[in-house]
Amino acid sequence: MGDYMLLAISAILVNNILLIQYLGNCPFLGTSKKMDTAVGMAMAVVFVLAMAGIVTWIFEAVFLKPLGLEYIRTIVFIVVIAALVQFVELFLKKSIPALYAGLGIFLPLITTNCAVMGVCLINIKEEYNFLQMLVSSLAYPVGFGVALILFAGLRERITLARVPARKKDIVFIEKRLRDRDTIGRVDAPVRDVAIALVTAGFMSLAFLGFKGMI
């Protein structure tokens, strides 16, 4: 039992998939501008990854390993994940419309989310047994969600923050301030993704501190 707890904590905090393992960074930057989209994406990833982890692990154990076909694992996994995402989408649309409305647009994007494929590959590479795989497939996406939602909270504030800019940008911002159009917002060149990445760096530094826990 203790082993599984350790595995879960290590997957959520110490080896956080976004900030320490660098997987799933495209949706991380794409959906963290608003809290609503961040929550939707986090839920969709937890939902799909738990299923994808189980299905790909079974595929590996039943087909690929006994038949000696490990070398086509990449093709098999991506096809399985793509099919699974389609299936989940259809299933939710029919049976749980409320959840579908919430996850809606995020589901198709998950096929190309490298966090999903990445965790499936980690499960195989670390040679987890079924229970360990189950814990890791649940804990990694929870870590993804925690980091994504925390970061969305920060980013909502960053858009309102002042960041060092060139003189003409500062003049522009001051003009905006006078016009009370927007509160001085981050502007070129340290705008948008650039400042988001630097912020993510410092969050990652905080998560690096969890290394001391184990």
Please report, as ranges, the residues that interact with other proteins according to CB under 8 A: 19-26, 29, 71-75, 77-79, 82, 111-114, 116-118, 121-122, 125, 166, 188-191, 193-202, 204-205, 207-208
Residue 132 or 199: which CB sits closer to other proteins?
199
Contacts made by residues 180-189, CB under 8 angstroms, sequence distance 24+: 185/159, 185/160, 185/161, 186/158, 186/159, 186/161, 186/162, 187/163, 189/165
Where helices occur in 96-191 by DSSP H, the ranges are: 97-103, 106-109, 114-125, 130-158, 167-179
Q: Which residue, 96 or 188, has its beta carbon nearer to other proteins?
A: 188
| Nearest approach, Cβ of residue 164 and other proteins (Å) | 10
Side chain identity, residue 202: F
Residue with Cβ nearer other proteins (176 or 191): 191
Q: How many residues does the chain have?
A: 214
Q: Which tokens in the block code for residue 138? A: 């649940």
- Whole-number minimum distance, CB 125 to other proteins, in Å? 6
Residue 190 neighbours by CB under 8 Å, 6+ apart: 163, 164, 165, 198
Please, what is the minimum distance in Å from the beta carbon of residue 139 to other proteins? 17
Q: Closest separation between CB of residue 195 and other proteins, Å? A: 7
Q: Which is nearer to other proteins, 101 or 202 (CB)?
A: 202
